[in-house]
Amino acid sequence: MSKLSLDRVLQSQGFGTRKYCRALIEDGDVVINGEVHDNYKTLVETDGLVLTVFDEEWTYREHVYIALYKPSNFECSRKPSHHPGVLTLLPEQFTWRDVQPVGRLDHDTTGLLLMSDDGPFIHAQSSPKRHIPKVYQATTQEHVTQTLVDQLLSGVQLHDEPAPLAAQSCVQRGDHQLEIVLEQGKYHQVKRMLAAAGNHCAALHRSQIGGLTLEALGLKEGEWCYLERAQLELLVPG
């Protein structure tokens, strides 16, 4: 059980600075259980707390864990340079509470992207020591051959890596389609591995992280959802 003053609750949930949150409360814009609370010093129980701010309901969450179906031409950066950032696809509150992408997808890569404001979670999910498999669908420029599949499975040498990198699995899905499973998560790894094997990646999509799939989440491009405990457990290596 944890109690916080109402202004601290609003600030922790990303509604703005402490000063702004106090003004929201004093203006009567915060409702709890149908009752307007206009005293920012009011202590409220955070467990199970549901706030209504500007007529929109928000459930209190100490941390947020989010799955986003990233569209193409969005950058996984808080300071994007050439394309909109993925945070523009989320409510503004998430920017205020310092939600960040877990790892990166290239601006032209689509698919499952995790986001959170929980530092240890971000670090754990990003660590190569975790060996969390990630499933990609790659569209190749040239035809897929068995030789290409065999190379990706046996390992290809990238110029800045000390040892060859191999796919955990690689299955041909069409003349120009591969399903590739990786554990390492190196920079531009799928694209660089395909190039090293003599092909070229024309399009890339991530459909799965660990046991969590976009299909099960039912998200469309640009949509997001909260991840609950059962879904987060799918991200733990087996």
Q: What distances in angstroms separate CA 78 from CA 127, 139, 158, 224, one per listed residue?
A: 20, 28, 29, 17
How many CB atoms within 10 Å of residue 206? 21
Q: Among the options 29, 106, 108, 118, which is catalytic? A: 106
Residue 13 burial class via C-beta count within 10 angstroms: exposed 0-12, middle 13-18, buried 19 and up? buried
The verdict on whether 108 is a catalytic residue reads no
Please state, in angstroms and rounded to a whole number, the distance separating the CA atoms of residues 233 and 227: 10
Closest Cα partner for 155 from 111, 186, 129, 176?
Answer: 186
Phi, psi of 81 (to 5 degrees): -110, -35
For residues 58-83, one letter each, b for 16 or more C-beta atoms within 10 angstroms of the residue's C-beta and e for the rest, the string is: bebeeebbbbbbbbbebbbbeeeeee
**How many Å apart are CA 184 and CA 165, to the nearest integer?**
8
Report helix, strand or coil for 180. Answer: strand
Catalytic residues: 106
